[in-house]
């Protein structure tokens, strides 16, 4: 066994990270691939962000993930930012190379990969895609969908300020917008419905949506992964619609980061899914 100082270090930087499943995922892959490594959690208050990043530069780290509320705030402390992350205006993965920090954003590509792993891109990319929410997750997913060729996108928003920020981020891209009370105007045409809001997350309000308005061949997806089956997905399954839960996006985010750090692409398979799902309900002692 390697001394702790020699073990490749990665981790998660964020505000409140104690409930994260990222350590579970990465340590499963370390064991599966027989790799040394340790994935740590770094809960950090805002006034300590700059200092923490400076410490990371000094530590023998391969890199780290970034979560709320620092995906945007960390940008000034990085040496380079990948083109996609520049377009999105946020970073979720940092790679350390030659004592420099390089920022990437794999949120959008991880989301798209989680869908196409189950249903082909051709099923929805040329049709209407409806995104619920206009925050940071929407920005990442929107950028990747457009990169893949989507051109009929409707953003349903509740927060006018965040929607205007979204418009300013993509001034040359045209997409339709609807306020939340008008949501049923777009559902009959939606081939892909994406919930990027926190509605339905454990401890949050439920997403109360009448899925009967959706076409029979629609795909319903939710980036919430706790609970794994949100009320939205439960309703969609009861109606016989295709569904994509939020765990896939989390796993593919981790896969892209792992590959950047180690040069190895770990498998996103039923085994790692079961391992993470079991961690939601640990056995009683």
Show which residues are catalytic.
Answer: 71
Query: Token pair of 112, please?
Result: 């798209």
In the chain, how many H helices and how many E strands? Answer: 9, 12
Report residue 95 CA to chain centroid gap. Answer: 17
Give the separation between CA 134 and CA 129, rounded to whole angstroms.
Answer: 14
CA distances from 239 to 197, 211, 235, 247, 258 (A): 22, 8, 6, 21, 37
Residue tagged 């400076």 (tokens): 54
Give the separation between CA 4 and CA 22, rounded to whole angstroms.
Answer: 20
Distance in angstroms between the alpha carbons of the first and the last residue of the chain: 29
Q: With 0-12 CB in 10 A as exposed, 13-18 as middle and 19+ as buried, what is 203? A: exposed
**Residue 148 contacts by C-beta under 8 Å, 6 or more apart in sequence?**
112, 121, 125
Q: 162-187: string of b/e by CB count within 10 Å (b at 16+)?
A: bbeebeeebeeeebebbeeeebeebb
Query: Token pair of 77, please?
Result: 């402390």
């Amino acid at each position: 066994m390697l001394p702790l100082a020699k073990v490749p270090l990665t981790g998660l930087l964020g505000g409140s990270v104690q409930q994260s499943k990222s350590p579970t995922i990465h340590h499963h892959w370390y064991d599966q691939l027989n790799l040394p490594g340790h994935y740590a959690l770094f809960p950090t208050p805002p006034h300590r962000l700059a200092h923490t990043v400076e410490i990371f530069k000094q530590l023998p780290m391969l890199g780290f993930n970034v979560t709320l509320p620092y995906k945007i705030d960390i940008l000034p402390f990085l040496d380079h930012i990948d083109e996609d992350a520049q377009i999105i205006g946020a970073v979720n993965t940092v790679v350390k190379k030659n004592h420099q920090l390089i920022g990437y954003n794999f949120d959008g590509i991880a989301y798209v990969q989680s869908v196409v792993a189950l249903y082909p891109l051709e099923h929805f990319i040329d049709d209407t895609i409806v995104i619920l929410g206009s925050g940071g997750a929407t920005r990442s997913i929107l950028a990747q969908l457009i990169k893949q060729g989507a051109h009929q996108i409707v953003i349903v928003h509740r927060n006018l300020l965040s929607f205007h920020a979204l418009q300013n981020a993509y001034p040359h891209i045209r997409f339709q917008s609807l306020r939340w009370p008008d949501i049923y105007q777009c559902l009959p045409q939606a081939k892909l419905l994406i919930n990027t809001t926190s509605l339905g997350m454990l401890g949050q309000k439920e997403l109360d949506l009448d899925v009967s308005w959706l076409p029979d061949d629609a795909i319903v997806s939710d980036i919430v992964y706790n609970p794994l089956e949100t009320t939205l997905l439960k309703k969609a399954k009861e109606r016989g619609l295709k569904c994509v839960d939020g765990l896939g996006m989390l796993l593919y985010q981790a896969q892209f980061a792992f590959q950047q750090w180690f040069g190895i692409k770990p498998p996103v398979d039923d085994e790692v899914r079961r391992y993470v799902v079991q961690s939601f309900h640990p056995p009683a002692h």
